[in-house]
Amino acid sequence: MRAVRLSGEKAFVLETLPDPTPRPNEIVVAVKACGVCGSDIHAYYGEHPLMKPPLVMGHEFSGLVHSVGDGVSEFAVGERVTVEPLLVCNECDRCKSGRYNACESLRVMGCHADGAYADFLAVPAEKVLRLPDSVSFEDGALIEPAAVAHHAARRANLKGGESILLFGAGPIGLFTLQMLKAYGAGAITCVDLSRYRLQLALSLGADGVVDARESELACLKHRRAEGKEFDLIVDCVGGKGKALDAALDIAAKGSRILAVGILEQGVCMQYLTWIAEHELELIGSFTYVREDFERTIQLLEKGSVRTQGIGSHRFKMEDAAKAFRFIESPDERFVKAILVNDAYTG
Ligand SMILES: [Zn+2]
Ligand SMILES: [Zn+2]
């Protein structure tokens, strides 16, 4: 089979490897589509703390069941599937309590182990989920980031009709917006640097938008004085923590802040002193569990969550190097790249 391996900073090699054979309780998936995640882009620049070359990336994918190992009876060859890419121990306290996304020895396909920038990938059968006929392979590759958003919406502990400020209208932000709406949020205002992404947020259900570059952001801080407060502020930016700093600055007393975006190592927040005296709740959200995948698939099938504009650019898997060069200086409409793979047709 072919696999695209990150071989160094901004360098890929197209390798030929033996086709995988499934071990007991494994399924070999023929990859049809795989999303390029923000973490893949960090790894490409050599800036990811865990994802280091040589590595076959890819943890957001869909495909066809190519072969099944001994003990696998729930899936048949040729079925359309997606995969929850968390590899967990099933033995630690967190795993036993069902919160295996906080497993003591969590590993992720395509991050700690080779992933789906390849023709085939062998995965534990318990991590495979069926795709409904109405969900395309490309949308199937968006289920993983949408499940991140679904988990975040559950962590938000919504009380219905709450007013929300959401930082970041990238793939995770746009899905989080829709998941919060699907679970009964009130008005949601989105903040981003890109006018195009803010338009996309409006088309996907945002009630208002704020350009993060403009003085509008400063105005948000004065909303408290006007009595127009946010019940929940969500950070889907992460990075150097600027959005989280702004969130703490804007947060009304007694409100909640939900941290979803991945923060760089060693980031410190400026306004920690406010947490106690404003009685804020700071909530973390990380990845998902199977239930998030299952519900995300249902919401996509029902059309309550849409992918329009999110999977914005497609490239062939073997052209991954070209895709990443494009991402280095993308056009305005870029939101997320999907690598499609037509090698296996069943
Ligand atoms: Zn990801
Ligand atoms: Zn565990």
Q: Check whether 311 has a pLDDT greater than 80.
A: yes
Buried-exposed string 280-291: b where 16+ CB fall within 10 A, e elsewhere: beebebebbbbe
> How many CB atoms are closer than 10 A to CB 135?
19
Name the residues around ion ligand 2, CB cutoff 5 A.
Answer: 88-89, 92, 95, 103
Check residue 282 and give its pLDDT.
Answer: 95
How far, in Å, from the CA of 43 to the mean position of ligand 2?
A: 25
Per-residue pLDDT for 215 more than 90? no
Q: Exposed, middle or buried, 273 (CB in 10 Å: 0-12/13-18/19+)? A: exposed
Predicted local distance difference test score (pLDDT) of residue 344: 87
Task: Kindly state the average pLDDT of the residues 116-138.
Answer: 98
Name the closest ligand to CA 37. 1
The pLDDT, as a whole number, for residue 225 is: 60
User: Considering only the top CATH level, what class is 149-284?
Assistant: alpha beta
> What confidence tens digit (pLDDT) does each residue in 132-167 have?
999 999 999 999 999 999 999 999 999 999 999 999
pLDDT given for residue 220 in this prediction:
75
d(CA 175, CA 336): 12
| Average confidence (pLDDT) over 33-45 | 97
Ligand 2 geometric centre to CA of 101 (Å): 8
Question: Average pLDDT for residues 5-25, to the nearest whole number?
Answer: 98
Could you say which DSSP state residue 317 is in? G
Ligand located closest to 145 CA = 1
Vertex 137: Cα angle to 127 and 184 (nearest 5): 75
Parse the chain into domains and list their residue ranges: 2-142+311-340, 149-284
pLDDT (0 to 100) of residue 24:
98
The CATH architecture assigned to 2-142+311-340 reads Alpha-Beta Complex (3.90)
Reported as a pLDDT band with limits 50, 70 and 90, residue 207 is very high
54 preceded by a cis bond (ω within 30 of 0): yes
- Ligand 2: distance of its center to the CA of 108 in Å? 13
Dihedral class, residue 310 (left if φ above 0, else alpha if ψ from -120 to 50, else beta): alpha
260 and 238 in contact (C-beta within 8 Å)? Answer: yes
CA of 59 to the centre of ligand 1 (A): 6
The ligand minimizing its distance to the Cα of 103 is 2
Whether the Cβ atoms of residue 285 and residue 182 lie closer than 8 Å to each other: no
Q: What is the pLDDT of residues 63-83, one digit of tens each?
A: 999 999 999 999 999 999 999
Asked if the domains 2-142+311-340 and 149-284 are classified in one and the same CATH topology, the answer is: no
Distance 237 CA to ligand 2 centre (A): 27
Residue 226 binned pLDDT confidence (cut-offs 50, 70, 90)? low
DSSP string covering 246-275: HHHHHPPTT-EEEE-SPBPTT---S-THHH
pLDDT, tens only, 97-106: 999 999 999 9
Q: Which ligand is nearest to the CA of 34?
A: 1
CA distance 56 to 68: 22
pLDDT above 70: residue 109: yes
- Tell me the ligand closest to 115's alpha carbon: 1
- Inform me whether the pLDDT recorded for 340 exceeds 70: yes
> What's the average model confidence in pLDDT over 45-68?
96
Task: Map residue 121 onto helix, strand or coil.
Answer: strand
Query: Quick one: DSSP state of residue 136?
Result: -
Q: Which range has the worst mean pLDDT, 3-7, 235-239, 268-272? A: 268-272
pTM, full prediction? 0.96
pLDDT band at 345 (very low <50, low <70, confident <90, very high): confident
Distance 89 CA to ligand 2 centre (A): 4
Identify the band that residue 49 occupies on the pLDDT scale cut at 50, 70 and 90.
confident
Asked if 279 and 253 count as a contact pair (C-beta separation under 8 A), the reply is: yes
Residue 61 Cα to ligand 2 middle (Å): 23
Cβ-proximal residues to 86 (8 Å cutoff; 6+ apart), any chain: 100, 101, 103, 106, 107, 108, 109, 127, 287, 288
Q: Work out the pLDDT band at 224, boundaries 50, 70, 90.
A: low
Give the span between the Cα atoms of 11 and 319, in whole angstroms.
12
Strands 208-211 and 188-192: parallel
146 CA from centroid of ligand 1 (Å): 10
Q: Which residues surround ligand 1, an ion (CB under 5 A)?
A: 37
CA gap 55, 9 in Å, rounded: 11
State percent of the chain over pLDDT 90: 86
Return the percentage of the chain with pLDDT > 70, whole number: 97
What is the residue-averaged pLDDT of the chain? 95
Distance 48 CA to ligand 1 centre (A): 12
Confidence of residue 267 (pLDDT cuts 50, 70, 90): confident
